[in-house]
Structure 1
Amino acid sequence: MTTRRTLNTALLWAGLALSAPALALDAPSSRPVLTVSGKIAVKNAGNTARFDMKMIKALPQHSFTIRTPWFDKPVKFTGPLLADLLAAVKAHGTTLSAVAINDYRIDIPMTDVQRYKVIVAHQLDDKSMAVRDKGPLFVVFPFDTAAELRTSTYYERSIWQLKALEVR
């Protein structure tokens, strides 16, 4: 009987948690630079979560200096962890479909987000990134931390001029 009561209590709390309204995400106060949609619980614009640069910068910031195929010397990238951004919207999927300003699309497995310290960079060498400089947002893997990251698979997943993420 105690086991059944414990199970019923757990189910009740789980049901209440699922029926409670999701935590609010402030609306952007300036032009949005990123839209997150799909399997997310926290939204601020219909069925999506929109972020302006101020919101991106309000997340915990991380930096690393790495070598990439796009620059002739090591460069420093700064921005929030992709995992932190997805946690802010309570994402719950297995794949991210990332879309760039020019409509380039690439799928990123959520296991990559959990395994590596992938950042959504908004700064390159401590300067904001303009569209012509692969900005304003660039998904970057820490290539120099693991040999498997220095492959075309991960270079292709490092999408610059990011404008949208769909959690599937």
Structure 2
Amino acid sequence: MMRYILLLCLIGLLLVGCASTPDVASEEVYTVVQEGTIAAGDAVPAPQGRPILTLSGNIANTNTETGLAFDQPALEQLRIVEYNVADPYTNGNEQYRGVLLEDVLTVAGAAEDASTLHMVALDGYSVDVPTDVIRWPVMIAMYQNGETIPTTDKGPLRIVFPYGLYSDIDADVHNPMWVWQLESIEVR
């Protein structure tokens, strides 16, 4: 009987240890730089110029005939966060600032049963990203080290995973999901 109890305790500890938790305290993962003025259910202003991000597919909130479009000022009305991350492409520690992917999907009214985000970059690169990545604070970055990210340097938007902050993010799996020059997301 004692062996059975010890075995159950060991299994419980293993299950707790496998949970996706940050390697640092949650409040230390990112800093809220600016609270958003656009939240779930709010209308997003139609772009005044060329949109920098469009969402389509299985979403409830739209501001164009084809989906939801953000220009830079509208995107910056969402909550803005920043964190430092071990960037696999610069081989250094970079500070990124932008909006959480989860916040964008919430404002868009993405369907709860959506399973895939089809992301497309300006250069035509595309990748399917499972929606469960929002369990981490995946960012749509607009700034790198305090500067806007120019198109010539993989901007103006870039998907950033919080590498170095969560041990269960697998670089082999997630590196292809660091979409540079992000242009659109189709919620499927």
> Which category of TM-score, normalised to the shorter sequence, fits these structures?
0.7 to 0.9
User: Pick from 154, 164, 168: which aligns with 2:184?
Assistant: 164
Could you tell me which amino acid in structure 1 is paired with residue 127 of structure 2?
A: I
Q: What is the count of residue pairs matched by the alignment?
A: 146
Native 8 Å contact 2:59 2:110 kept in 1: yes
User: Which stretch of structure 1 is more off in the superposition, 23-32 or 43-52?
Assistant: 23-32
Corresponding residue to 2:90 among 59, 62, 71: 71
SS at match of 1:50: strand
1:104 aligns with 125
Cα deviation digits, residues 20-75 of structure 1 (max 9, x gap) = xx753210122210110000000011031110011111110111111112113211
Ranges in structure 2 where 5+ consecutive residues have no aligned partner: 1-40
**Residue 3 of structure 1: aligned partner:** none
Partner of 1:15: none
Query: 3-state DSSP class of the match of 1:147?
Result: coil
Q: Which residue is 1:137 aligned to? A: 157
2:14 counterpart residue number? none
Please tell me whether residue 82 in structure 1 is matched to residue 101 in structure 2: yes
Equivalence for 1:17: none
Q: Tell me how far 1:150 sits from its aligned partner.
A: 4.3
CA distance in 1, matches of 2:103, 2:42: 15
Distance in 2 (alpha carbons) for counterparts of 1:149 and 1:156: 13
Q: Which has the higher helix share?
A: 1
User: What's the offset of the Cα at 1:145?
Assistant: 1.3
Q: By how many angstroms is 1:151 displaced? A: 1.4
How far, CA to CA, are the matches of 1:139 and 1:58 in structure 2?
18
User: Does the CA-based 8 Å contact 1:144-1:150 persist in structure 2?
Assistant: no
Q: Who is 1:13 aligned against? A: none
Percent identical among aligned pairs is 32
- Worse-matched range after superposition: 132-141 or 147-156: 147-156
